[in-house]
A and B are shown apart, each in its own frame.
Chain A
Amino acid sequence: MKKFLNNPEDFVDEMLEGIYLAHPEVTHVGDDLRCFVRTNPVPGKVGLVTGGGSGHLPLFLGYVGENMLDGAGVGGVFQSPSSEQVLDVTRHVDQGAGVLYLYGNYSGDLMNFDMAGELADLEGIRTMTVLGRDDVASSVVGEEHKRRGVAGIFFAYKAAGAAAAAMKPLDEVARLAEKASARTRTIGVALSPCIVPEVGRPSFQIGADEMEIGMGIHGEPGITRKTLTPANEMVDEMMARILAEQSYETEKDVAVLINGLGATPLEELYVIYRRTAQVLDQAGARIRHVFIGEFATSMEMAGASISVLQLDDELQQLIAMGANTPFFKHIAQ
C-alpha cells in the first residue's frame, strides 16, 4: 500500500479536519466530526440529508452547500454512518419544513437511515426517503429497486437541491428527487482495484490487460470482464446498456455525467465523452448539460462511469440552476 496516511484508523477523521479547515462554510454537529452540515442553514427550507461510506469524494459530503444538500452522515471507508449520526444531522438541518433523506441503495445505509427516520418521527421531525439506484449493471430491468446508487445520484442531488432552494414543500422536493433518480442510468467500468486504508491490500484482483464493465464503486462484481478494448468500442458496449432503457423519441433532452473513479486522468474522461456524445447524437438525444470530472470515486480505482439523465421541462430547469459547494461550483445557465 502506497498512500499519504498517518495512522490508517485516523484516515477519515483527519480528512474531515482538513475539509473543515479549508472550507468554513461547512461544519460538524457537536463534537462528532462525522455529522457534516452547512454552517448557515436556510430558515424554513426543506432539509436535504445524504450519507454513506467514506472513500468516494466528492460523494457524499462534497455536495453539502448552497442550492444542493444541507448535511451528510459520514461513515468509515465503505461503511454506513450510524443511525445516531444521521439523527444528529437530521435534527440540525430541520428548519421546520421536514427533511428528505437522499442516499444510495445499500443495505447498511438503508437500515441506519430508516432507523434515524423513525427516531426523528418520535421527535416530531417529518422525514421522507428517496434512493439513488442508477447502476444498470447491478440488477436487471424489472428489478430496478435492487439497483445500487452510484455517480448518477449527483443528478438527484442537483434536482432536489434546486427544488428545496426554491422553497418547495417536502412532498414536492421528494417527488422531483424521485423523478431525477428514476430517470438516471449509469454504467461503470473498472481497470484496477482500490485499497481500503485499514485493510491495506487491494479489494480484488484484475489482470493488467483487463477491464470489468459494470463493476460497483466498492468493487462489487460487474457484468463482463475481458481484455481491454479501444475506448470507442468500450463506450459503445456501455452505452448499449443505457440505450436499452432510454428512448429519445419523444423526450430528446439529456444531461450527461462522465465520472472518473479516482485514478483515471481527465484526458481519458474526455475521450470517453467524445464517443458518448456521438452515440447519444446517433440515438436522437440532445445533450443539454455536460458534467465531466470526479463526482463519485472509489479511492484509487482506475475507471470511469457514464450517467445519462433524461430530462423533462421541470428537471431541465432544476439542473440548470447554479450551485456552490466546497467540491462543486456550477454557474446558472
Chain B
Amino acid sequence: MDTLTSHDIPQLFARLSKVFADQKEALITLDGQVGDSDLGLTMAKGFAAADKAVSELGDAPIEAQLKAAGAAIARAAPSTMGTLMATGFLRGSASAKDCDDLRTEQMALFWRAFRDGVAQRGRAQVGDKTVLDVLDPIAMSVEADAKAGTGLSTAMDNAHAVAVDALERTRDLVAQHGKAAAFQEKTRGIQDAGSTVAVILIQTMADFVSHGAARPVGT
C-alpha cells in the first residue's frame, strides 16, 4: 500500500507488539553485553501497552493514535529506551496533526519529529552509539524519498535497507551514554542494542506497508 490510514494503525501496533514479544530474549542478550539487560523486557512491555492503548481508542484520528501509543509506552516502560520511544511517538503524533493518512511526505515529517524528539530527550548526537545512529539515516532516507516523490512502500523499504547498514556501522562506534559509556573502548565491535530496536521498528513498518497485516514479519 502507498498510504497508512487510521484503520491501519491499530494493526501496525498489534504487529509491533508481536514482533517485540518475539525479539525479547534476543534483545535481553544483546543489551546484557554492556547494559543492564532490561531492554528486551521494556520494549516488549512498552509495545504491548501501545497496542492495547491504540486498540481501545476505537475510531480516532492518526494523531490521537500515535499520541496514545507514546503515552502508553512511557507508562509501561519507564526505562531510558522506553522513554525515548515514547518521546518519538509523542513528537511524531504532533507531526501527523490533521492528517487523514500517512503518505511518504507525512512519513518523512513523522520520522524527522521522532528523531528530533529522541535527540532532544536523550541529549545525544549522531555518532554517540545510540538509537539516533539509526533513526537519523531513516529520517534522511524517507525525507529524500518524499522529495523524489517515491511511493510509501518503496520509501519504507529504502529506509529499512539504510537502517540495516547504519546498525552495522554502530559496531565501530564507542558508547557515550548510559551504562555502556563506562565500558568505553570495550563497546567497540558490539552492535548497539538501542539501534537494534530502531531497525526492528522500521523493518516491521516496512513489511506492514508492503504486505499488510497478514504476512508474518521475519526478523
A221 CB to closest chain B CB (Å) equals: 13
Provided the pairs A82-B78, A83-B83, A118-B90 are in contact, do residues A111 and B67 lie with their beta carbons within 8 angstroms?
no
Number of A-B contacts (CB under 8 A): 33
Pick from A107, A112, A114, A122: contact of B78, CB below 8 A. Answer: A112
On chain B, the residues within 8 Å of A82 by CB distance are: 78
A104 CB to closest chain B CB (Å) equals: 15
Let me know if A115 is at the binding interface, CB within 8 A: yes
Complex CA–CA separation, A112 to B87 (angstroms): 11
Let me know if B193 is at the binding interface, CB within 8 A: no
Let me know if A253 is at the binding interface, CB within 8 A: no
B166 CB to closest chain A CB (Å) equals: 23
On chain B, the residues within 8 Å of A114 by CB distance are: 121
Q: Are A110 and B123 in contact (CB under 8 A)?
A: yes
Interface size class of B (residues with CB under 8 A): 10 to 19
Q: Are B71 and A122 in contact (CB under 8 A)?
A: yes
Let me know if A119 is at the binding interface, CB within 8 A: yes
Let me know if A178 is at the binding interface, CB within 8 A: no
Q: Which of A85, A111, A115, A122 has the most CB of B within 10 A?
A: A115
Q: Are B74 and A111 in contact (CB under 8 A)?
A: no
Q: Are B74 and A83 in contact (CB under 8 A)?
A: yes
Complex CA–CA separation, A112 to B122 (angstroms): 10
On chain A, the residues within 8 Å of B158 by CB distance are: none
Provided the pairs A112-B78, A112-B83 are in contact, do residues A119 and B71 lie with their beta carbons within 8 angstroms?
yes
A: number of interface residues (CB 8 Å): 14
Q: Are A84 and B78 in contact (CB under 8 A)?
A: yes
A105 CB to closest chain B CB (Å) equals: 11
Per-position binary interface string of chain B over residues 50-78, scored 1 when its CB falls under 8 Å from any chain A CB and 0 otherwise? 00000000000000000100010011001
On chain A, the residues within 8 Å of B123 by CB distance are: 107, 110-111
Pick from B71, B75, B80, B90: contact of A111, CB below 8 A. Answer: B80
* A–B pairs, 7, beta carbons within 8 Å: A83-B74, A83-B83, A84-B74, A107-B123, A107-B177, A112-B78, A119-B75
Give the A-binding residues of B (Cβ under 8 A): 67, 71, 74-75, 78, 80, 83, 86-87, 90, 121-123, 177
